[in-house]
Amino acid sequence: TGVRMLVDGGPDRSVVRELPKLMGPLQKTIDVMIETHPDKDHIAGLADVLETYEVKNILGPGLPSDTNVYGRLVSTVESEPGIQSYLARTGMRIHLGGGAYADVLYPNKDVSRLKATNDASIVLRVVYGQTSFMLTGDMASTIEDEIVREVSIEDLESDVLKVGHHGSKYSTSDLWLQAVSPSVAVISAGRGNTYGHPAPEVLGRIEKQGARILSTMDQGTITLVSDGAHVVEK
């Protein structure tokens, strides 16, 4: 439909080199930008996106940070006229055209005083036709459990799961995997990262669930495309 939503911007400005490959070099509008939470590895490239593209709307969890990266993002948003800023909260639906939409499953409360930035992560379920994608930011298992208690199974089941927190052992519990029941699990983690992501126990839980694992540390950029009936890897 030509409606474009960008979720997070990575640890540096490489996002502005990658976007033209997806959008085309002449497309300069992003309808919705999502800042899942204020950690540098998720937002550092967003200020560069704002300076390069016309961004119409930005959603964040409402958790401030005293880092230089977050300060730059805030000042860039304030300097760009016409951007509408919103707090993401459970129950919000972002309409993407053609029947596609993204539902906000979390945060369900004020997260502005949280100490753990990961616990503020925006969780989105993107739906197009009969297909769906679960995007989790750096959500930990404590928040997974909270969502499972509060959201019906039919609103959790997804074909594709973006594995929480780069495959950290503190995310992607058995309960969460059973509720989401993905056929594909995508892990965003750098090769040779010092955190040991993805954790072997997470890989084991995903394999037990029966989902196919795709990892950026093995494959680089991963592109999944839906026609509303099936999801295929490009």
Tens-binned pLDDT, residue by residue, of the chain (234 aa):
889 999 999 999 999 999 999 998 899 999 999 999 999 999 999 999 999 999 999 999 999 999 999 999 999 999 998 999 999 999 999 999 999 999 999 999 999 999 999 999 999 999 999 999 999 999 999 999 999 999 999 999 999 999 999 999 999 999 999 999 999 999 999 888 888 899 999 999 999 999 999 999 999 999 999 999 999 999
Q: How far apart are CA 77 and CA 167, in angstroms?
A: 31
Q: How far apart are CA 202 and CA 175, in angstroms?
A: 12
Q: How far apart are CA 143 and CA 141, in angstroms?
A: 5
Q: How far apart are CA 232 and CA 234, in angstroms?
A: 6
Token duo for residue 130? 């009969």
Burial state string for 86-113 with b = 16 or more CB within 10 A and e = fewer than 16: eebbeeeebebeeebebbbbbbbeebee
Contact partners, residue 78, CB within 8 Å, separation at least 6? none
> What is the pLDDT at residue 195?
86
Contact partners, residue 231, CB within 8 Å, separation at least 6? 131, 133, 159, 160, 183, 184, 224, 225
Q: What pairs with residue 58 in β-bridges? A: 33, 85
Q: How far apart are CA 10 and CA 221, in angstroms?
A: 13
Q: Are 162 and 184 in contact (CB under 8 A)?
A: no
> What is the pLDDT at residue 94?
98
Instruction: Show the beta-strand stretches assigned E in the chain.
Output: 5-7, 29-34, 54-60, 84-87, 93-97, 100-106, 123-128, 131-135, 160-162, 184-187, 212-215, 224-226, 231-233
My answer on whether omega of the bond before 107 falls inside 30° of 0, hence cis, is yes
> What is the pLDDT at residue 209?
95
Token duo for residue 146? 């909270």
Q: How many Cβ atoms from other residues are within 10 Å of residue 233's Cβ?
A: 13
Give 164's DSSP letter.
G
pTM: 0.96
> What is the pLDDT at residue 120?
98
